[in-house]
Amino acid sequence: MWIYFERGQYVTSISCHQMALNIRLKKFGGKHPSTAKSLNELRLVWIKGKKQIKKAKEYIDKKGTNEDAIQYFEKSLEIKLKTLNDDHPCISWSFHYLASAFKNKND
């Protein structure tokens, strides 16, 4: 899925990540670490894609890109907080990424 992103095919990359999320939701439900991983990857595609928007015109011309990334991140973090120990490294990284998403929101 990341190969599409690296090639600048952002719409396809987002679509593939969304399909993976849907499969994991169906198979594992909304409180599983694999589902949290899919949400996190989808959020990364949105954030990284926004940074590339000046270079690639085919990217989704949609307002709210950071809002979508933040939404996916928050859901991922919610799952992690319920399934992992509070001192797990993934929790700290998740907070770091959330802060970055809010910072990028103002760019």
**What is the DSSP annotation of the chain?**
-HHHHHTT-HHHHHHHHHHHHHHHHHHH-TTSHHHHHHHHHHHHHHHHHHHHTTT-TTS---TTHHHHHHHHHHHHHHHHHHHS-TT-HHHHHHHHHHHHHHHHHT-
Instruction: Reply yes or no on whether the pLDDT at 64 is more than 60.
Output: no
Going by pLDDT thresholds of 50, 70 and 90, the confidence category of residue 59 is: very low
Instruction: Reply yes or no on whether the pLDDT at 58 is more than 70.
Output: no
Instruction: Reply yes or no on whether the pLDDT at 77 is more than 70.
Output: yes
Domains of the chain (ranges, CATH numbers): 2-105 (1.25.40.10)
Going by pLDDT thresholds of 50, 70 and 90, the confidence category of residue 87 is: confident
| pLDDT at residue 106, as a whole number | 61
| pLDDT at residue 2, as a whole number | 62
Instruction: Reply yes or no on whether the pLDDT at 105 is more than 70.
Output: no
